[in-house]
Amino acid sequence: MLLTAWKREHLADEALQLLADENRVFFSSQMVRLELLPKPGYEKQTREVSFYETFFACAVAVEPLSAELGREAEKLGTRYGLSGPDALQIAAAIRHDVREFYTTEKSTKPMFRVKELKVISLHSLYA
């Protein structure tokens, strides 16, 4: 969702609206940081890095990668057929009792099978 918002891709306005909602709190993970920050950091894209860092600074928590998180992600991945990165992100959310997990993925992805939290696609919200 953050990458979509930054790149101004389809659903960017909706992602930005969700991120600006003052009635929400956000959690994230080191996995998301690793997905978003290294490349623009290397390419000296300071505005993009600043956009992401602003989000992470406002997040209530950023779950670090750990052996325990990895074990939980592996169990979730096996149970629901998740890819490794998706399993890590979902496991991090569950560890923080997140109720809603927002994504720009379409609802056909395995993450929508997860029962421990509600996975919400911006595609379905703003179709």
The model's pTM is: 0.89
Q: Can you tell me which residue has the tokens 């290294």?
A: 38
- HSE, side-chain direction, 13 A CA sphere, residue 36: 24
Parse the chain into domains and list their residue ranges: 2-125
DSSP letter (8 states) at residue 104: S
- One digit per residue, the tens of pLDDT, for the chain of length 127 reads 899 999 987 889 989 999 999 999 999 999 999 999 999 999 999 999 999 999 999 999 999 999 999 999 999 999 999 999 999 999 999 999 999 999 989 899 999 999 999 999 998 876 5
> 2-125 falls under which CATH superfamily?
5'-nuclease (3.40.50.1010)
Can you state the angle between helices 84-95 and 67-80, rounded to 10 degrees? 110
